[in-house]
């Protein structure tokens, strides 16, 4: 890491990868450990005396013994996998978090990554693009003690190919979707506070892909949580 000045710095990193795996082949043999290398270049920035921080990075990961579904099953009846060599993942990410003002907080991030083998994409169950934005604001005056916030999550489409009982393959696709959240908190004093949080505010009906036979599953519906917190 190198500090350019008081606000900006750049860095470079390299790491080796060695990760044992539990995936099995159709014959019941456990795949060899995942091995590879990861390279990353990035920059970081700090503003408002360190209250607000931002970062951006590009990376490349090379992996061998990368597990992909073979389309068959193991002797125990679970989805079987095979190991492929030379998977290359390239991507970038950017993030900002902290306080814009003493009362206004923000956290936002965007990531992009795609894994390919000989130019063909693998790991399609994982979205290649994801975005999130959350912010909160602490009110003043007659509403002092009240904090309101909210945010959104987005990901692009994912898909997977499965074997169907009648023979052949079917591709399950989940289109890109947004989900919105909201929260409110009221501080009665330094010890006592109450909060309300709502996930999936608009009760968006969406699918995710559960990486078990690449099967559709419903995303989490609207959930509401109310809590009371007391600090001793």
pLDDT given for residue 215 in this prediction = 62
Where residue 93 falls among pLDDT bands split at 50, 70, 90? very high
pTM of the model: 0.84
Q: What is the pLDDT of residue 173?
A: 83
CA angle 82–26–20, rounded 5-degree value: 50
Q: For 45-74, how does the pLDDT look when each residue is reduced to its tens digit (9 = 90+)?
A: 999 889 999 999 999 999 999 998 887 788
pLDDT of 213 over the 60 cut: no
For residue 32 the two structure tokens come to 């060899």
pLDDT tens-digit series, residues 103-148? 999 999 999 999 999 989 988 888 999 999 999 999 998 899 999 9
Distances from the Cα of 73 to the Cαs of 47, 76, 77, 79, 185, in angstroms?
Answer: 53, 8, 5, 4, 49
Bridge partners of 151, per DSSP, are: 134, 181
**Contact 64/82 with Cβ under 8 angstroms?**
no
- Alpha-carbon distance of 8 to 5, in angstroms, equals 6
For 171-208, write each residue's pLDDT tens digit. Answer: 778 889 999 999 999 999 989 999 999 999 999 998 87
């Amino acid at each position: 890491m190198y500090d350019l000045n008081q606000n900006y710095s750049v860095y470079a990193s390299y790491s080796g990868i060695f990760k044992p795996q539990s995936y099995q082949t159709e014959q019941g043999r456990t795949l060899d450990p995942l091995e590879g290398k990861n390279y990353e270049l990035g920059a970081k920035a700090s503003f408002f005396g360190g209250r607000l921080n931002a970062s951006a990075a590009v990376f490349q990961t090379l992996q061998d013994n990368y597990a992909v579904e073979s389309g068959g099953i193991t002797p125990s009846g679970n989805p079987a996998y095979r190991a492929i060599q030379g998977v290359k993942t390239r991507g970038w990410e950017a993030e900002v978090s902290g306080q814009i003002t003493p009362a206004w907080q923000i956290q936002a991030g965007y990531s992009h990554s795609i894994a390919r083998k000989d130019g063909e994409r693998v790991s399609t169950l994982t979205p290649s693009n994801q975005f999130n934005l959350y912010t909160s604001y602490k009110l003043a005056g007659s509403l002092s003690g009240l904090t309101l916030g909210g945010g959104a999550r987005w990901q692009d489409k994912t898909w997977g190919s499965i074997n169907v009982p009648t023979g052949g393959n079917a591709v399950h696709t989940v289109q890109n979707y947004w989900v919105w959240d909201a929260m409110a908190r009221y501080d009665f004093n330094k010890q006592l506070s109450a909060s309300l949080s709502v996930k999936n505010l608009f009760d968006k009906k969406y699918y995710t892909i559960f990486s078990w036979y690449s099967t559709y599953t419903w995303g989490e519906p609207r959930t509401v949580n109310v809590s009371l917190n007391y600090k001793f």
